[in-house]
Amino acid sequence: MSHVSEARRPWKLGIVLTLLFVMTATFGPLLYAVDPNAQNLLSVLSPPGAQYPLGTDQLGRDVLARLLHGARYSAGIAIAVVVFSIALGCILAGIAQWSGGMISTSLVMFSDAVYALPGLLVTLLLADVLGGGAMVIVFLLWIVAWPEYFRLSYSVGQQIVKSDHVLASRLAGASGGRIFRLQVLPVILPYLLSLGAISVGRIVLAIATLGFLGVGIAPPQAEWGMMINDLRVYWQISPIQLAAPVIAIVWVVLALLILSQSMPTTKPGLN
Amino acid sequence: MNSLEARNLKLSAGQLSLDVPHLRFKQGKSCCVVGRSGSGKSLLAAALSGLPVPGMAMTGDVCLNGSPADGPLWKDHVFVLPQEPALALNPTMPVGKQLAEVFRWRSDHACSCRSPGAISAEIGLDQDDLKKIPGQLSGGMQQRIMIAMALVARASFVIADEPTKGLDDGNKKRIIDLFGRFRTSGRGLIVITHDLEVASALADDIIVLGDGHIAEQGLASQVLTNPRSEATRELICNAPQNWPTAPATPQKPHCPVVRLEDVTFGYRRTTPILSEATIEIDGGEIVGLLGPSGSGKSTFGDLCLALQKPQSGIVQWFGSNLNSALIRKRRTKFQKLFQNPVTSFPPNLVLRDVFDKLTPQSADANIKDELMSRLGLTDDLLLRRPDQVSGGELQRLAIIRVLLAQPSFLVCDEPSSRLDMSVQRLAIDVIAEYSSQYSSAVLLISHNETVLRKRANRVFEISHEGRLSLKSYD
Amino acid sequence: MTLAALLARKALLILTITLLVASCSFWAVHLLPENIAMQIAAARFSGTEPNQQLAEVVSQSYGLDRPILVQYADWLAGTLKLDFGVSLVTGRDVVQDIAHHGQNSLRTVFWGFIAGVALAVPTGYVCARFAGSHLDTVLTVFSAAISTIPSFLVAIVMVQLFVVELGLATLSGTSGWARLWVLVLTIALSISGLLSRVVRTAVIDVRLQPFMLHALIRGVPERELFWRHGLKNALRPVLNYLPVVFMFLIYDVIVIETVFNYHGLGWALINAVKALDVPLMQGLVLALVLFYLCCTTLSDLLTWRIYRHKAS
């Protein structure tokens, strides 16, 4: 009877792939310091070569540079959204858990209502009205993403708080802070990170979809979905330029999926 | 006359292993296989029926009527009653429909019952119960449905794995009565149990398993009255009916640690699970609390510990009414020993951290070491997580943790009722010893009346209506 | 839970969400009042340089100069009466637009959902029955790939393959299966990836349950075992997963209709967004959200109907 599921093999693969993405997003644009928006109309759609490792797009912009900046853009937004959502979700779950009664009920109902909203629709509805830009996208995705974390930390937290081992520690006179630090946080954190990993993947996908649809992301911005939309008509002339952002998206989503599914977790309540 | 034989069986699964040179079960006889947990009882049941157990390796033969079985026996010749009826019944199908399957596909033409309705009357369920899904029936009712299936099924042998596990005394007696019918219907009955009460009520023959081998076998009357092996003696002496009776508490000055007066409590206002309960528990006294499953025994304990607020009535600690300041001041002196030791330790922490950071530090540092050695535990256990320690060891650690708080009042909620009798006895003995030494009050909750009679100074019973009454034993 | 309680809860949820969406769009627009008048002016009178004068005209004709709370109350009341106003771009009634485009979308979504389920359920079941085999591995990799690739990519590939290369379908004309089948297939593919995984897990899990073994002990023949005891239990996680499928359907409507240039709700939404046609945007988003909520309510009702024993 093992309560801590063993870390499965893909765990390491997921970590490596994800780290590669994060490193690329962080250091890529620094190491390959080419302006992603510099147009060179003399070498439009040129194939990969010495000057342009991945070739150029329809405006003669360096695809590798755009890919790297696109990674930074997606990763930045996705990680910001997840961090904010975890923070808001946990704080509200803590409030709901602590206060109980009406406050708890209404918080749960409110988060259920927001959770039942198809998130991308809200973003589509408001992104352009609010003027687009990274901050607006972060804000909108944050608004629709937090209920997941609220629900998770509320239900897992409730199981832990109601468990015998927390009661035993309370009877033993341990303070609330100590119980939280030793018994609640270490159990809840892997769940949050696991969900966080999968939603980073989903947000990268959502950003690409927004870029592809041309909503909320202003054109000079290097973004994978937008790159795909721009280059798809030239797929016969420049397949590599098109394949690069496609592979990048699939890579990231797959890496985070593997990571989240193989994350070892401890069951909150034992039985 | 059919017979079921095991020849040169060697079974192993994980750390368990069992060697069976030769065993013979006859039709029309009932045989109980007893032994501590970990002695390989369930392996034997699996091998005899041929049911697949993941990870079990088996060599040797199981023979039916003298010749090796040519297929798994559970399909035709052996009917298996599983350990957890709740898991063996389809949760979404009415039980009557599941019972009808036996009639349709595996009915015994010799059986007098022809319909689910007829058999359900015999096992004490009415027609409406048959329309319910398993989740709407109690554990005892689910077990009776399984027995009804076994009664009508075509099989020469019935194997029951811990059929009374988790049932209270009333349900246990019912199950034992029903099991008598297998013998009258001429089938062979093989019951795996750790409960000697069940064994002595049911068995013609008894097989005692030691660690990985057959310690003793023979007629039930002989084995139980005249044990020859160490394993049997240990089992017998740990059975509650053979525990030495606790010495009567010396009369002490009257000073109730916990006092309840006219306490009423219910999760729903209309149906109280405890009504107008009045009780005083003195220091140094062990009070037993008896009641059927679901009667609110644990809630009563929680009320005494101020973990629940009564709807009406007074709860007092040391003679003063409860208020938050008093509770805060005395919190660690009112402790609880949980039913399941596994759930009472945080799953993510190494045990040492639990003892160092989440346990009251007593002034005398030696107490822990003393208790550890008294209970036969070594320090290296503390470097493990709860899931890396056996249930018995964990129960002992839970006791140590509770006693380190030096409680004035201790609620023991069915301590280790899911573990062996030996662990159960140890748990209760250590607590009784502590209670008399430090004159602390103990509320011992159990559904096993024998345990309470042997260990408690007074025994109260909660009825289904929530009435508390003192039981008298002459 | 009783049926009445279930319906009441769903109704409350739908009401809350309607008000939530209406409030979101209202405040987003009106917290920037000059901005919106200018933007509407720019959208309506495209070609001319938007200026203050035009903005004022717009402001008056849309009642943007009234006190903001009055406008808000008006907006909410209108929303609840399903009166979303008129499109800023075309001047047509938004409800009419929704009805017109909704028909188109409903048809593809309905058949796409049916086709997706018809694709996913047998795939998942076969994978579960032959778990660990080569067939299982191939189907697993395929469905994992489908579910990882964003649906706009799937749509692009479908267009390239069936429309451009093979010429088996067209991108013009609104009705007729010659055009629709690619759309339906694309929607089906994009939802079947994850759904077939869910079916596979559900079937494998239920086959490992101890009650399945005990049913065999009771003599239930092996060929009847799954249908008798497994189906109803395996269905539950699949039904619970349906809201996610509906969510994907909504996203697919938007993305796939845009790629295929199919005049449905999603296509209209993207155009409205690009033109900043706020009444139309709000109406379309609400229509899609309500459609989604109706689907989840239906699946909840179905779940309730099948497992109502358990609720008591």
pLDDT digits (tens, 9 = 90+) for B153-164: 888 888 988 888
Q: pLDDT value at position A21? A: 85
User: Pick from C21, C30, C98, C102: which is nearest to C63 by CA?
Assistant: C30
Q: Out of A163, A172, A178, whose CB is closest to B405?
A: A172
User: What percent of chain B has a predicted confidence (pLDDT) above 90?
Assistant: 1
Query: Is B236's pLDDT higher than 50?
Result: yes
Write out chain C residues lying below 8 Å of A215, CB-based.
Answer: 270, 273-274
Contact across the interface for B82 and C210, Cβ inside 8 Å: yes
What strands, in cross-sheet order, belong to the sheet with B286-290?
B334-337, B409-413, B441-446, B286-290, B458-462, B468-471
Contact across the interface for C211 and B89, Cβ inside 8 Å: yes
Contact across the interface for B343 and A3, Cβ inside 8 Å: no
Which residue in B has a C-alpha nearest to residue A176's C-alpha?
B358
**Number of CB atoms found within 10 A of residue C114's CB:** 13
Q: pLDDT value at position C162? A: 83
Q: How far is CA B71 from the centre of its chain?
A: 34
Q: pLDDT value at position C36? A: 61
Residue C182 touches partner A, C-beta closer than 8 Å? no
User: Which amino acid is it at C105?
Assistant: S
Query: Is B176's pLDDT higher than 50?
Result: yes
Write out chain B residues lying below 8 Å of C309, CB-based.
Answer: 92, 94, 132-133, 136
Looking at every residue in chain C, the average pLDDT score rounds to: 83
Higher-pLDDT residue of B75, C292: C292
Three-state DSSP at C307 gives coil
Q: Determine how β-strand B441-446 pairs with β-strand B409-413.
A: parallel
| Average pLDDT estimate for B61-89 | 83
Using CA atoms, how far apart are residues C246 and C110, in angstroms rounded to an integer? 11
Contact across the interface for C218 and B105, Cβ inside 8 Å: yes
Contact across the interface for C219 and B91, Cβ inside 8 Å: no
Residue with token string 């593997």? A258
Contact by Cβ (8 Å): C101, C257: no
Q: pLDDT value at position A271? A: 40
Residue C308 touches partner B, C-beta closer than 8 Å? no
Q: Out of B334, B340, B346, whose CB is closest to A182?
A: B346
Contact by Cβ (8 Å): B43, B83: no
| Average pLDDT estimate for B415-429 | 76
Contact across the interface for A225 and C251, Cβ inside 8 Å: no
B191: which DSSP letter? E
C86: which DSSP letter? B
Q: What is the dihedral of CA C284, C286, C288, C294, to 10 degrees?
A: -150
Contact by Cβ (8 Å): C253, C288: yes
Q: What are the tens digits of pLDDT across the range B6-43?
A: 888 888 887 788 888 888 888 888 888 888 777 778 88
Give chain C's length. 312
List the single best residue of A74, A110, A111, A124 to mutate versus C (max C Cβ within 10 A).
A124
User: Pick from B168, B258, B136: which is nearest to B463 by CA?
Assistant: B168
Give the pLDDT band (50/70/90) at residue A2.
very low
Angle, CA C189 vertex, CA C185 and CA C194 arms, to 5°: 155
Interface of A with C (CB under 8 A): 109, 112-114, 116-118, 120-122, 124-130, 205, 208-209, 212-215, 225, 228, 232, 235, 246, 249-250, 253-254, 257
Write out chain A residues lying below 8 Å of C20, CB-based.
Answer: 113-114, 117
B388: which DSSP letter? G
Q: What are the tens digits of pLDDT across the range C89-147?
A: 777 888 888 888 898 889 889 999 999 999 999 999 999 988 888 888 888 888 888 88
Q: What are the tens digits of pLDDT across the range B257-284?
A: 888 888 888 877 677 788 888 888 888 8
Asked whether this complex has an ipTM greater than 0.90, the answer is no
H-helix or E-strand spanning residue B26? strand B16-26
| Average pLDDT estimate for B443-471 | 84
Alpha-carbon torsion (B301, B305, B310, B313), positive or negative = positive
User: Which amino acid is it at B436?
Assistant: S
Contact across the interface for B88 and C310, Cβ inside 8 Å: no
Give the pLDDT band (50/70/90) at residue C37.
low
User: What percent of chain C has a predicted confidence (pLDDT) above 90?
Assistant: 10
Q: pLDDT value at position B314? A: 87
Contact across the interface for C21 and A225, Cβ inside 8 Å: no
C165: which DSSP letter? I
Q: Which of A137-141, A145-149, B225-229, C43-47 has the lowest mean pLDDT?
A: C43-47
Contact by Cβ (8 Å): B292, B168: yes
| Average pLDDT estimate for A60-80 | 87
Contact across the interface for C310 and B135, Cβ inside 8 Å: yes
Q: pLDDT value at position A205? A: 86
List the single best residue of C206, C208, C214 to mutate versus B (max B Cβ within 10 A).
C214
Residue B132 touches partner C, C-beta closer than 8 Å? yes
pTM of the model: 0.82
User: Pick from C28, C52, C138, C40: which is nearest to C89 by CA?
Assistant: C40
Write out chain C residues lying below 8 Å of B105, CB-based.
Answer: 218-221
Using CA atoms, how far apart are residues A160 and A270, in angstroms rounded to an integer? 9
Provide the chain B residues 365-384 that lie in CB contact (below 8 A) with chain C. none
Contact across the interface for C229 and B88, Cβ inside 8 Å: no
Give the pLDDT band (50/70/90) at residue A4.
very low
H-helix or E-strand spanning residue C270? helix C265-275
List the single best residue of C273, C288, C300 to mutate versus A (max A Cβ within 10 A).
C273
C110: left (phi over 0), alpha (psi -120 to 50) or beta: alpha
Task: Find chains touching chain C: ≥3 CB pairs under 8 Å.
Answer: A, B
Residue C148 touches partner A, C-beta closer than 8 Å? yes
Give the pLDDT band (50/70/90) at residue A88.
very high
Q: pLDDT value at position C39? A: 62
- Kindly report the nearest CA distance between residue A126 and chain B, in angstroms: 43
Using CA atoms, how far apart are residues B281 and B249, in angstroms rounded to an integer? 13
Using CA atoms, how far apart are residues B84 and B163, in angstroms rounded to an integer? 8
Residue A186 touches partner B, C-beta closer than 8 Å? yes
Residue C305 touches partner B, C-beta closer than 8 Å? no
Query: Is C64's pLDDT higher than 80?
Result: no
